[in-house]
A and B are shown apart, each in its own frame.
Chain A
Amino acid sequence: MLLAKIVGTVVATRKDPRLVSNKLLVVRPVDPRGKVEGNYLVAIDTVDAGVGETVLVVSGSSARMASGMKDVPVDAAIVGIIDAVEVSD
């Protein structure tokens, strides 16, 4: 899973019917110390996260195992809101 920071929202009127009433957010991966790096991606929100929060993003077919995502065409889902990351060294 990736640690990512939510940096924006996505609005799409025309989309797959199974995506209706799901919240789409723009996230950017962060390293364990909180530094943003890498490309932006769109993830579906399953935990009521909001812009500015650090979250846990699950990718690939595992994203469909998130709550309520069965048979939904997604490959990135937000499955947790991060309280703290502790890194040794």
Chain B
Amino acid sequence: MQLARVIGDVVATCKDENLTGMKLLVVQPLTADRQPAGRPLVAVDAVGAGVGEEVFFVRGKEASFPFYPAEPPVDAGIVGIVDRWDVG
């Protein structure tokens, strides 16, 4: 999993039927000192995250597992909202 900040949301009316009702958010991966690391990407939200929150997300087919038995075509999914993280 990777730590990221939610920086935006995406609206798409015409989409795969298995994506209906799913929230799509733009996430920016972060370094240990909370700076942007690499390109932002779109992730599906499984935990009710919102813009401005720090989250962790999973990449790959596993991103669809929170929606089992549905199999939405997603390759990145937010699976946790971070309350606090420290790097020693």
Instruction: Tell me which of A11-19, A20-28, A54-62 binds B.
Output: A54-62
Q: Find out whether the CB atom of A61 lies under 8 angstroms from the CB atom of B12.
A: no
Cβ-neighbour of B61 out of A61, A79, A81 (below 8 A): A61
Enumerate chain B residues within 8 angstroms of A56, measured Cβ to Cβ.
10, 12, 15, 24, 42
Q: Report if B11 contacts A (CB, 8 A).
A: yes
Q: Find out whether the CB atom of A58 lies under 8 angstroms from the CB atom of B74.
A: yes
Cβ-neighbour of B12 out of A66, A81, A86, A88 (below 8 A): A81
Enumerate chain A residues within 8 angstroms of B61, measured Cβ to Cβ.
60-62, 65
Q: Find out whether the CB atom of A1 lies under 8 angstroms from the CB atom of B14.
A: no
List, sorted by A's number, 13 A–B pairs whose CB atoms are closer than 8 Å. Answer: A1-B24, A1-B42, A3-B42, A31-B40, A32-B8, A38-B39, A60-B60, A60-B75, A61-B61, A65-B64, A65-B72, A65-B73, A82-B10
A contact residues vs B (CB 8 Å cutoff): 1-3, 29, 31-32, 37-38, 46-48, 56, 58-63, 65-67, 69, 77, 79-89
**Can you name 19 extra interface pairs (CB under 8 A) apart from A67-B73, A82-B10?**
A1-B42, A2-B41, A56-B15, A56-B24, A62-B61, A62-B74, A65-B18, A65-B61, A65-B64, A66-B16, A67-B16, A67-B17, A69-B73, A82-B11, A83-B11, A85-B11, A87-B8, A88-B8, A89-B7
